[in-house]
């Protein structure tokens, strides 16, 4: 049964690729050529906090149990020419209609989906599951640093104070660990505003230059180096390129500014941001509604980012993640409770897009995890390590996920 589904998907996918080969080839060539120049590669990690419903993002409409599991909230299967329903990806999976802005990236094979992806840990706690995903050590709470900080630590350091930047109020767990990662809410405001006297910035800098080794002083020293780098590069003044229009939302603003930092060549290697509102226990909606509004913002922003960066996307991969998925069945309030596996997206770089990766576990009750949730068939670490190795070029021997040995690769990248 499972292999039959898989075969059919590959077959349909193969057909789609053949059809699109003529339009996709030039873009692929551009991407490969750019990457070959050896320009610094960038990973943009996007955390969908609150546990996004992968079954709504990427509905598996070909699964016979799909429609019946979700009488009120299942996304209607695709119908040619109807943009109000799910948009077909490969004959089995589809895209939520609110994710339509991502469709050109899919057809351009710049976007891949990894479905039924998640953590081997069974926790349905947002906090614990986010912590495990960001530390990269499911079930272990004592890991001091984050997986992205460890990845950064294995890469050659060209000396930029802005190698890793999180757009947001706090440094995320993924980037903690004394690797000089920077958090900022706004590129424009990332400076000392000394209206009265230029003596103030110098004084503050001196206060944190003292040779004290602690979090506060270390952060202070990093801060003033980074401030100068951002100022020198003129990142704050860069308008979106190629007519890209970011939504004026928090997520849109965060991605727009990550785009500025990349385009200003400040030496960025890892960027991180997060976007919330996915904990849809009540009235999640279907083609329209609460979740659709969030997805619309999500997709419009990602599409604007790809457009803004243009050819530069050859060096940039966007990886989306969420701590777990949601129940296969809808709950009593046309919402979904905390589940297990979800769907993650990989966009840009040399990704072999236009495909849904991972083995599909099925939605039938006997196929579910604990009888209720989508089973995890791809450990999130399998996805993350592949992005780190194949895109960021982290050395194969480097230990980013301690105590874990990668299985067969997904083969996401060309």
Residues that bind other proteins (CB under 8 A): 49-50, 72, 123-128, 166, 169-171, 176, 182-186, 189-200, 202-204, 206-212, 215-217, 219-220, 222-223, 226-227, 276-277, 279, 281-282, 331-333, 335, 337-338, 370
| Least Cβ distance, residue 207 to other proteins (angstroms) | 5
CB 226 within 8 A of CB 161: yes
Q: From the CB of 385, what's the least distance to other proteins, in Å?
A: 25
Residue 228 beta carbon to other proteins: minimum distance, rounded to whole angstroms: 12
Q: Which of 171, 56, 72, 155 is nearest to 115 (CA)?
A: 56
Backbone Cα Rg of the chain: 21
Smaller CB distance to other proteins: residue 25 or 212?
Answer: 212
By beta-carbon proximity to other proteins, the closer residue of 22 and 210 is 210
37/189 with CB nearer other proteins: 189
CB 4 → other proteins: shortest distance, Å?
Answer: 32
Rounded CA separation 113/99 (Å):
13
The smaller minimum CB distance to other proteins, of residues 14 and 203, is found at 203
Q: Residue 33: count other Cβ atoms within 10 Å of its Cβ.
A: 11
* Maximum distance among all Cα pairs of the chain, rounded to whole angstroms: 73
Question: Which pair of structure tokens corresponds to residue 14?
Answer: 């193969």
Length of the chain: 414
Which lies closer to other proteins via its Cβ, residue 13 or residue 250? 250
CB closer to other proteins, 80 vs 193 = 193
Closest CB 364 distance from other proteins, rounded Å: 20
Structure tokens at 142: 């004592």
Integer Cα distance of 280 and 278 in angstroms: 6
Please give, one letter per residue, the 3-state secondary structure of 214-246. Answer: CHHHHHHHHHHHHHHHHHHHCHHHCCCCCCCCC
* CB of 298 vs other proteins, minimal distance in Å: 16
């Amino acid at each position: 049964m499972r292999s039959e589904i898989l075969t059919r998907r590959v077959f349909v996918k193969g057909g789609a690729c053949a059809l699109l080969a003529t339009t996709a080839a030039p873009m692929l060539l551009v991407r490969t050529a750019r990457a070959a120049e050896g320009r610094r590669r960038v990973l943009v990690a996007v955390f969908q906090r609150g546990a996004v419903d992968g079954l709504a993002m990427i509905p598996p409409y070909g699964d016979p149990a799909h429609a019946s599991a979700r009488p009120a909230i299942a996304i209607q299967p695709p119908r040619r020419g109807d943009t109000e329903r799910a948009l077909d990806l490969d004959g089995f999976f589809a895209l939520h209609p609110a994710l339509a802005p991502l469709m050109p990236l899919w057809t351009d094979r710049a976007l891949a989906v990894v479905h039924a992806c998640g953590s081997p840990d069974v926790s349905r706690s947002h906090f614990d599951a986010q912590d495990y995903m960001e530390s990269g050590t499911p079930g272990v709470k004592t890991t001091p640093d984050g997986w992205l900080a460890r990845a950064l630590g294995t890469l050659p350091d060209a000396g930029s104070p802005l190698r890793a930047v999180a757009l947001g109020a706090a440094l995320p767990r993924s980037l903690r660990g004394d690797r000089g990662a920077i958090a900022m809410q706004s590129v424009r405001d990332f400076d000392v505003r000394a209206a009265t006297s230029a003596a103030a910035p110098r004084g503050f800098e001196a206060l944190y230059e003292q040779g004290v080794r602690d979090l506060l002083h270390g952060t202070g020293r990093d801060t003033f180096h980074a401030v100068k780098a951002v100022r020198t590069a003129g990142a704050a003044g860069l308008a979106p390129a190629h007519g890209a229009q970011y939504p004026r939302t928090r997520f849109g603003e965060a991605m727009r500014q990550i785009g500025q930092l990349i385009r200003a060549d400040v030496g960025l290697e890892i960027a991180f941001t997060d976007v919330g509102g996915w904990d849809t226990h009540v009235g999640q909606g279907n083609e329209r509604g609460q979740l659709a509004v969030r997805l619309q913002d999500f997709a419009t922003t990602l599409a604007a980012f790809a457009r803004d960066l243009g050819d530069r996307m050859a060096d940039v991969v966007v990886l989306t993640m969420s701590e777990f998925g949601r129940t296969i069945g809808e709950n009593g309030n046309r919402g979904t409770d905390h589940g297990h596996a979800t769907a993650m997206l990989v966009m840009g770089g040399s990704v072999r897009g236009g495909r849904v990766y991972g083995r599909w576990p099925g939605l039938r009750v006997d196929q579910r995890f604990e009888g209720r949730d989508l089973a995890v068939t791809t450990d999130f670490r399998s996805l993350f390590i592949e992005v780190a190795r194949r895109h960021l070029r982290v050395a194969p021997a480097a230990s980013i996920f301690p105590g874990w040995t990668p299985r067969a690769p997904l083969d996401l990248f060309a």
